[in-house]
Structure formats: C-alpha cells, structure tokens
Amino acid sequence: MSTSRKDSKKKEEAQDVNYVEHLWSWEEVEKEFGTSITSGLSDEQVLKNREKYGKNELTPPPKTPEWLKFLYEFTNFFSLLLLGGGILCFIGYGIDPDKDQTNLYLGVVLILVVLITATFSYMQEAKSAKIMEGFAKLIPKDCKVTRNGVKSKIDPSELVPGDLVDVSDGDQIPADIRVLKATELKVDNSSLTGESEAQERTPENVNDEGEQIKVALEAKNLIFYTTTVSQGSGVGIVIGTGDTTAMGQIATMTQEQEADDTPIKKEIKKFILLISAIAITLGIIFLAIGFAIGTEPIKNVVFMIGIIVANVPEGLLATVTVSLALTAKRMFKKNVLVKKLEAVETLGSTTVICSDKTGTLTQNRMTVLHCWYDHQIRNTPPAKNLPDLRQQLAADENAYDINSPSFIKLHRIASLCNNSKFIFADEKDDSGNIVLSAKAQQDNFASSLEEPTFNVLGMDMTSDASEQGLMKMAQLVKDRETYHAEYPELIQIKFNSTNKWQLSVHKQPDKPYPLLVMKGAAERVFARSTSFLENGEAVPVTPQHKEAFEKAYEDLGGLGERVLGFAYKELTDFTNDFEFSLTPQPNFPTDDLTFAGLFSLIDPPREGVPQAVAKCKRARIRVFMVTGDHKTTAQAIAKQVGIFDQSVLDAGKAKVVVGDDIRDLMNIEDEAERDRQWLEILSYEQLVFARVSPKHKLYIVDHNRRLRGEVVAVTGDGVNDAPALKKADIGIAMGIAGKDVSKAVADMILMDDNFASIVNGVEEGRLIFDNLKKSIAYTLTSNIPEIAPFLCFIVLRIPLPLSTVLILCVDLGTDMVPAISMAYEEKESDIMDRPPRRAETDRLVNRRLISFAYFQIGVIQALAGFFTYMVVLNDYGYPPRELIGLGLEWEEWSLMCSSDDRNRPGSCGYGCGSPKFDNDFYDQDIFQGDDNFSKYCEDGCRAPCVLGEGECTEEVFVASADPFSEFDEDGYRGGDFCDLTCENYCEKVYTGSDVQDCIDADDNLPNDFLPAACTEGRETQSVGFFDRGEIKPQAPKGARYWWDGTAQDAPNQQYQQAALEYAQTSYFISIIVVQWADLLISKCRKLSLFNQGMRNSFMNFGLAFETVLGALLIYTPPLNTVFGTRPLHILHWFPGVPWSILIFVYDETRKSLMRANPGGWVEQYTYW
C-alpha cells in the first residue's frame, strides 16, 4: 500500500475530515478492508471488521440527570450569595438569645427566592432535544448490501467498512462510501457542506482541470452518511462508519466544544462579586466597631448579618430572570425562539455575525433571475403568483417581454425539457383530519395562482433544484401540464456528466414533425448549435453571435448565477409517430441546433436581508458570510445583500477567503506567525469565507474571539454548522430548514429562517442590556437607605430606623414590580446607531453607576429616610437630640430622662435592670405571698410618691420605699445604687455599730423585708440587686420615665416600642416616596424624562403598585403583626416628598449638563 491512513494524517488541527481513502487505488481499498469490489465482504471478514471498527452507530455523550441539571441552577454566584445570606439569617436566629423571628422569616424568604428563580430558569432553559438524539434521527432505516456475492437488505447499524453498498434515487446514505459505479448520480450535500445544488458524484476524483481532488469533503468519489441521493444510482465501498464518518467527526467536534459563560452572566458575576465584597467588608468593619464599643458579642454578630443582608439586592435575581424571560417572549412574537435566556443579551453585545448563506441569507431554492435572448440580458421577476408577475413586469422596463417570439420559444424549451412536477400533499389540522386534499389542491392549482397570497416559489417539486427553479418561472407564463399535454414527450436523454446536457423530443400539435429541445451547460449547448434565434427566426451563427453569447455568459456567471443554455431543432425529416430509440446509438440527430438563449439561476437573497445587513453596518456589527458554496457564488450573493460594497472591494478592504487559504494557515508551525496571518485576514473590513469545512467554521469563530475579543454570533441550519453553533458566544439555528442537531446546540432558533429576524434580536438584546442597567440602577439606590440604619445603629447607637423584615418588603415587595417594569421600557432612538458594547469598558455595573446609585441618589434617599424617622419620633415625644447612644437598649429597657421647668427632656438613659431569680441566694420561692415582691418589677419600678404632694406623708413614703428601690422622693437614685446588696447598703446608710445592727435586721429599720432577705445564713454580699449591674447609658439622678412627651412615674415599654415601630414604618414609606423619583430618573440615562415620556404603561402600574402595596403593609392589621408596621398618620407620608423632588431636579440638571457639554466632566464622571 502506497499510502496509509496513519501516514497521510496531517496534524490534528489542520484536518477537515480525516479521510485519505478517496486517494487510494481500488487494490489498496480491497487490501485495507479485506473486501472485494465485486462480491463484497465475506461473513468472516464482517465479524473481523466489526470487532475492529465497531458498529455503525454514533457514540452518545454521557447524559446529565435532570435532577443534577436542576441543582446546577443553584450554583450561579447570585444564588449562592442569597443562599449564604439565608443561612446567615438562620445562624443569627439560632444564636440570638431573644429569638427574634425576623431573622427566621428573612432566612426562609431568601431560600424561597432562590428556589423559585432556580425552578423558573430550569423550566425556561430545559433542553428540548439532546445533541446526539438529533444525530440519531438522521440514521436511515435500511440499506442494500452485497456480501459473499449475494445482495440483501440489512439494518444500517450492521454495516462495516468494506461493505459493498447500492444506493439509488431518494435513499439516505447509510455510511461514508467511496463510489465504485455511478449512473447520473447526484447527492444533496446541503446539510453537510452548505451547497444549495445537488452535487454530481462519479468514480473518478478529478476536477475540471483533470487534477486529483485531495480535500475529502470536496471529493467527487465520496458520498457521506445521512446525505440524500437526489438523482441516479450508484455502488460503492463503505470506508467509514459510526464515529469515523464525516458526520461522526462533526458530532465529536460538537461535543468537544465547551460553551463559555455568556457576557451577561460574566457581568452579573462581576457585579455580585463587587456587591459581596462591599457587604462582607462593611459587615467585618462594623463587627470590629461593635466589639470596640462594647456591644454584646451575639448581638454584634446578628447585626453584622443584618448589614450583609441589607447590602444584597435580594430581588435582583428575580428581576433579571423575569426581565430576560419577558424579552424572550417578546422576541418569540418576532419569530425568534430563545432557548437560553441569557442569550437574549448576548445577541445585543454581538460584534460579528458569521452567517451561513444557504437558507439564511438566501431562500434555499434556485430561482431564475435573468434570461438572454435577442442579444439582450433581461430580468426575470421571481414572482410568487400571477398578480405579482403582472405587477413586476409592469414595473420593470428591463423585464422579459412575454409576447416576444424569441422569448416564447425560449420559454417553451425550458418548460418541455424539464422533468420536475409540483407535489401536492393533504393539508391536515392538529388532530390529523384532512382540511384540504391533495386532489383538490391540484384541481384548483390554476385558480390558486390568481390569488395574491399564493406563493408558487414555496411549493415542493420533484427533480433537482435547477429544474424546479425553471419550472416555477415557466408555470406563471403557461401551465406545465397544459404544455406537456399539447407537446407529448416521445423520448428523452437525461443529463449526464459526460454530455452535460439533457434533451427530449415532443410531438407538435400544429405540425406533422416532432420538436427536439435541449438544455444544459451553456457552452456545450451553444457548441452544438449552427443557428441562432433572432426575433423569432433562425439565422446562421456568426462570430458576432458567438462573441455576444460569450459576453452574456461571462456577465451572468460573474453575478454568481448558474447559466443554462437552451436550443431546439425541428425534426422535419421525422414524423410524429416515428419510433425513436437510444440504443445502441440515438436514431435521430442531436446537433445542428438553433440556439434560443440563456436562463440564469441563483439561490436569491431573502426578502429584507439587504436592509438587515445595512442595519448591522449602521450598528457597527460586521457580517461575515461563511459557506461551503463556491467562491463566485458567495461573492455574488455578498454583493447582493450588502455584505460586500463595491467601493470597499475596489479599495482592497474586502476579501474572499477560501477553505484552501485556511488549510494553508493551519499548516503553519509557528503559532505566533499563524496568529499574525489570521489577524491580517480578520482585519479586513468585509469578509466572505467560501468552500469552508465544519472545522474551518470553528477556526473562524475561535480566532475572532481569541485574537480580536469579538462577541461572535453564528447562524446555521445544517449538521455541519453544529460545532460552530456551540462554540460561538451565541448559536442561532434555523427553525424551518434547520436540522434537529443544529437546533439542539443553538441558543436561539429563527422560526422563519430569516436573517432579518437576527437584527430584531440585536435590537432586543441591546435594549435588554440598557433596561437591565436601568433596573439595577433603580434597585441599587435603595441599598444605601437600607444599609445606613444599621450603620447608625451600631456607630451612633440610635434606635434601629429600619428593621430587616422591612428591608425585605422593599427588595422583594415594593421594588420588584417597578424594577421589572424596566423590561418594558421602549428602546432609545439611537440604539442601532451605537457601536456594540465592549465588555472591557461598557460594563453592566461600572464605577459611575455605583457612584450614582450609592453616593448620589442613595445618599439623598438615606437622608430622606432619617429625616422622616426623626420627625415621627419627635412627634411621639422623643426628640432627635436624645436618640444618640440609646439605641441598643431601646427595645429592652424603659427610657428615663431628666426634665427642666418647661418639661423638656434633658439628659436621658436607663435605670437598673430586672431582678434575676436564678441564684441560690435570691430564691424567688422566699418571696411568694410577700407584698414586697411586687416592688421588684420586671420592666422597671414605679416611682414612690413625692413627699408633700397629695397624700404622700413621710409615713406613706417610708411604707412604700424599700432599701433596694431605684427611686426615692427625688426620683431615680442613680447608677451607684444599682449595685447595692444587704452588706454594702448598710455600710452606706449607717456608721459604727449601726452597720451591724442593720445587717442583723434591727426592728427599727423601715420594714421587714431586709431581714427576710439577709438573714437565715445567707451571704449578705450576694443578696440585693443580684446581676443588675450598671446599664449604659445610665440615666442621671433625679430622672423619671419618659414617654408621650413628658416625665412619667411608671414605665410604658409598649408605648416606647410602638413609637419606634411608627418611626420605622415612616422610614419604609419614605423609601417608597423617593423611589418614585428614582424610577422616573432611571427611565433614561441621558435624555430628559420629558423627551422619553411616560408611555411605559407597566411602569406607570409599577408606581401605583409600590404605593398601594406600601399602604396595604401599614394599614392592614394582620400585616402590622407580621411585618411590625404601624398605621401612619397621613401627614407622615409627606416628609419624604421634598427629598423626592430634590432627586428628580438633581438628575434632570445632571442630564441637562451632559447634553449641553458632550464628553464633559459631568458625562465622564456621572454617565452610567
């Protein structure tokens, strides 16, 4: 064997399809596989080859269980952050000695948020079809094989290399096969190579110059697994099965591609890292501050958790998910099905679109666009029906003349020398019932052509693509069946690769002799002609005729169109009843013809594609055509759709790169040099890649991303596109013509197969990025008024202005609908005039956005909250100047203040704590039934009466006072007294022997409580205010309880707590009030609200929603209990209004300055 598979194998990265068998002699093939080209494999050799090569099946990838896919939804960083916050809340609840339910509720809600959004994402992104399942659907049902010299039918999975296989018209190729014999064999390779026309296959593997074709996918002697025989028949030897087939190699490449994170996922991950860093840093800093100022450790940890949770925008995950889903739903109405939610934004970030030609930029059907007769190139309107034809003919002065004698004859030849027929199939409803039968459609075909909505171009037909295109054009001029009935066929010579023409002979209705008509390769048909049709009459061919023909042929070929020649001959020496024969040679002449003219066909651009490409250019998106078709055709289509501009071509800034160029590049050993040459190619302003293989498409995508940092979108419909679709930042498959494999790996599916739909998607993608940015700006601003209360609570020690549960009400309640309403915001007028965003500079959340949300609007909102909070507390009798330093004990002890003669509070603090009955020396059982026990109150003690006032005599006072009371006749005794026990009390009150008498409970003492507490062998130093040490801040001597704006003799902890809850509720309402303005200013980043307007009805609903929800939370009694809110007086809604107006005026001024000074300081530092 001269060449082995191993010896001929190039380095892996330069391969297209790993085959060299098409270059071998048949002796080498027989030897390699142990087969015979006449009798096939023996049974023994079949077993050997199966053991060596395996079954003819594709290896499925490992399957991921659905439950694991669901769990994967919890692994994104945002979900992990919220889960961490939920766990911290549970920890905070567990270690909190007071068991505050708020942390428990908050933890449950955070876990539920993650669970709901993960479930939603899983359901939205569940893969409807798996990659290899799509490939599996391509497997043929049976095949014809010869083994031991005997023909039989077997399951294709039983085939092995070396099998001798027969294929015929309509068969799906069961493996990769080297052609041994071929009879007019053509195969449809469109799903594999992108070629729109059926490709001729022969045993000889040479090109038009007689050179051997080395590239396997272009070899004329190979037919590939899952492609279809469109014409003829053939016999061949199997050279590849299963994973080694071209399709199997593509499947393997597809599986090997690892999809990177989408741009929006990267942006959100960076954002969450930033927010996490801020939250954790602040939490640690204020934990340290708390320890430094002596806060209880457990309480300190609980508040650190509160700071972290307050920093996390809990509603953002749901907002992003819902916004993407809403946009996906909107895109579906524009014929774009989004399989992967995050792909919505990726399309908006796209900088390069690598588009397949066939079926995406073009219609995937050969259509006649030009004809040439009487020395003139005429347009052939691609009309859909007769009204459309009449309209186009009237509008186009250069269209063919339907009454021209020359055109009538040219049209007759095209119609008669044509084997294609229209296919009519029953139309059924969803239940399978026939709505319109095939027979009824056929009978009404002529009348259907008169309907303006009918599209003959979209009908299915038999025969090859060129014949179909010719017949669809001809049908609108004269009905095919009528023509063929008038001119019945007598004999036909089919097209073959040797002749490159087809002819048929027909009876003539008005003449006694038959008519011979011929079509085929234009130069071959012209060479067989001796006459030329001019103005309906045959004249001898002259050099001028030949020159005119060659110019027309070159001009039409230069347009990338397939040019066919047409000729005829009236067989005057024969009669209509003559018996024509083809064996051994035709018994009639096939030359000396009259050349009638040319028809040229091309797979034309889809409607709207040129406009869509122009829109992409305006948006600075580069559109590359990437096709397996020929260079000339690709360049012609590129010009027609606008991918190539003639001016750019003339300037040398546009280039067609063919597959051989890429192979040469990949064979360069020096990686740096290889990358340099790739960069040189990719630097061209406009590019078309032609005759490329599936692996080449991968290289194009990879080098654009790796070397130039492009965000690449790839479109495709065939199996050959699957690897690139998966590798790209966003893969876009065709919904109609697309194979299941391409749909399975794609992120989006174009339901109408129209490139123009991609541009709609780009607009929506850019809009969702803008709107997400606005939504995040709106959401983040409320972080500062949520965080600031915790910071002031720890640092300034004021009563907590906003509870964690109310933070949750903002993030997951009042802010949710307004934030989501941004998804409905209209696009800005310049959205497609901007260049694509660059990931490294135009971030979803940048420093300017953080500065705007946190340090500008957020600070104003926080000030509004504190102002409202202080106004309300002041209205309930607690002036702002008295709040600092009292916050940590506010909910545990009753406030005590001194007052002046105008009853204004002076210095405030707290008295002693409650007695603890958990010590042997202070047993509660001793005091059961003792009247004096009531004086040891749990929440503070009532002040004794004031001497000289009312009935408060000295006897009454003495009777009501005990040695350990916090009060005497002048009010609170002060902090020193809180430490008293039996022993040190006596030492402070008495001197000398009276001290011991005091300790021994002399009967002269004020009451009998002291003996009961201090005798009976107890240790006197332990009995008294046990475990009631001094509380900070300590109330001054003479202070009394302070509530309801005045000094009180008895504590009222409920009033004090209620006042704080009213203040917290007002803080919560103030956030809603300032968020009104925040929502309005977030509508546009630079334009004034007065320009953008208030046309977003969902946003208007959002404004009402957050207000109504806030009212429900504070005015519904059951919700008051759940959320710790209070029914505010209506006036307490208004302190935040001036701040809301300030926010609006500030932002309108900022935007006005930006518009007045583009690129100025304000724009540089505040445009987010």
Q: Compute the distance between CA of residue 162 and CA of residue 43 in angstroms, rounded to an integer.
A: 12
Packed helices 783-795 and 858-875: angle between N→C axes, nearest 10 degrees: 60
* Strands 967-968, 427-428: pairing kind: unpaired
Q: Which residues contact 569 (CB under 8 A, 6 or more apart)?
A: 515, 516, 518, 589, 592, 593, 594
What 3 state SS string does 357-398 have?
HHHHHECCCCEEEEEEECCEEEECCCCCCHHHHHHHHHHCCC
Per-residue 3-state assignment (H helix, E strand, C coil) for 917-934: CCCHHHCHHHHCCCHHHH
Tokens representing residue 286 in the block: 């204020």
Looking from the CA of 161 toward its CB, the CA atoms found within 13 Å total 21
The full 3-state SS of 223-253, as one line of letters, equals ECCCCEEEEEEEEEEEEECHHHCHHHHHHHH
* Distance between first and last Cα of the chain: 69
| Rounded CA separation 150/160 (Å) | 16
Tokens of residue 873, six digits? 């507390």
Please state, in angstroms and rounded to a whole number, the distance separating the CA atoms of residues 311 and 229: 64
Q: Is 1116 exposed, middle or buried (0-12, 13-18, 19+ CB in 10 A)?
A: middle
Please report, as a single letter, which amino acid is at residue 416: L
Q: Using alpha carbons, select from 964, 968, 962 the residue that is nearest to residue 943.
A: 968
**460 is known as an active-site residue:** no
Distance CA 245, CA 176 (A): 6
Of the CA atoms within 13 Å of residue 626, those in its CB half-sphere come to 29
Contact 858, 787 (CB under 8 A): no
- Map tokens 């588009």 to a residue: 355
Is the distance from CB of 562 to CB of 366 less than 8 angstroms? yes
Nearest-angstrom CA–CA distance, 359 and 302: 62
Bond from prior residue into 818 cis (ω within 30 degrees of 0): no
Residue 247 CA: distances (Å) to CA of 128, 173, 193? 22, 11, 11
CA atoms 548, 553, 556, 562: torsion sign: positive
Provide Rg for the chain, Cα atoms: 44
- Distance separating alpha carbons of residues 919 and 925, to the nearest angstrom: 11
Q: Tell me the two tokens of residue 322.
A: 């819902």
Residue 1114, phi-psi category: left (phi > 0), alpha (psi -120 to 50), beta (remainder): alpha
Q: Name the catalytic one among 171, 176, 356, 1078.
A: 356
Helix axes 755-781, 263-292, angle to 10 degrees: 10
- The pair of structure tokens assigned to 876 is 């309930």
Nearest to 907 by CA among 876, 877, 886: 886
165 neighbors 145 (Cβ within 8 angstroms)? yes
Tokens of 1088: 């004034």
Tokens of 1038: 């003479």
Q: At what angle do helices 671-682 and 659-666 cross, to 10 degrees?
A: 150
Query: How many Cβ atoms are within 10 Å of 569's Cβ, its own excluded?
Result: 24
DSSP code at position 733? E
Helices within 477-532 (DSSP H only): 480-486, 522-527
Helix (H, G, I), strand (E, B) or coil at 427: strand
- Angle (CA) 786-792-797 rounded to 5° is 135
Tokens of 1036: 């001054």
List active site positions: 356
